Amino acid sequence: METFETRATLSIVATPIGNLGDITLRALQILKDADVIACEDTRVTAKLLARYDIQKPLVIFHAQSGPQAGRRILSMLGEGKQVALVTDAGTPGISDPGSELVRAVRDQMGNAVRIEAIPGPAAITAALSISGVSGNDFTFLGFLPHKKGRLTTFKEIEASTRTCVFYESPHRIEKALASLAEILPEDGNRKVMVAREITKIHESFIEGAPAEVAEYFKTHPTEIRGEFVVIVTV
């Protein structure tokens, strides 16, 4: 009978969302012990590994890598290898296709593969922790739809009785904030908070009425860079 020590392992490893010092000792040990590291961008992961003098084979796994990438990882696990899955920043599977790989392993390999979580940073929890908003009850929307379903999502935010949190890219943040300013009431009861470049040198946190926050980024174009976490209070 196989034991956890001899069984192939898929380790879901959280990595820093900005500051490379934000990684756990356990995560570093897992990366050192892995036979191969599956990553979103080899350049980003190589930078992290170089920081901690870790040299391991890298394979690509991301939203556009296609089914062949997943089959390759399944094959490695079938050979009994230890595979560590990382994303460019944060926890794999959170607004990330890592969840698809985990589902495939569970469905196709069952108990033949041990799947373990190596917890650590996630932009959503980091943003909420410095927002002053209770994290007891909120709705996480991930990245909003680009086109189809986007208007419906904003209507859901408008009608929500819970704090809503979503990610946005620099290419769409202004439009997202403009939409929030348009749909949310101006009675001052609902606030919009935008956390940008969390843990990095240019980290910032802007909060205010929806229209105020939209106007801030409209008049500060140099700050429309990096990744954004948007929090909409009730």
pLDDT (tens place) for every residue of the chain, 234 residues total: 344 445 899 999 999 999 999 999 999 999 999 999 999 999 999 999 999 999 999 999 998 888 899 999 999 999 999 999 999 999 999 989 999 999 999 999 999 999 999 999 999 999 999 999 998 999 999 999 988 889 999 999 999 999 999 999 999 999 999 999 999 987 778 999 999 999 999 999 999 999 999 999 999 999 999 999 999 999
Task: List the chain domain ranges.
Answer: 8-118, 123-232
- pLDDT given for residue 216 in this prediction: 97
Torsion of CA 160, 161, 167, 171, to 10 degrees: 40
CA atoms within 13 A on the CB side of 209: 11
CATH architecture of 123-232: 2-Layer Sandwich (3.30)
DSSP 78: H
CATH architecture of 8-118: 3-Layer(aba) Sandwich (3.40)
Are 27 and 85 a contacting pair, CB within 8 Å? Answer: no
- pLDDT given for residue 46 in this prediction: 97
Closest CA to 23 of 138, 170, 146, 121: 121
**92: phi > 0 → left, psi -120 to 50 → alpha, else beta; which?**
beta
Task: Output the six-digit token pair for 54.
Answer: 């870790």
- Gap between the Cα atoms of 162 and 172, Å rounded: 23
The β-bridge partners of 228 are 168, 196
Decide: pTM greater than 0.85: yes
- Gap between the Cα atoms of 17 and 125, Å rounded: 11
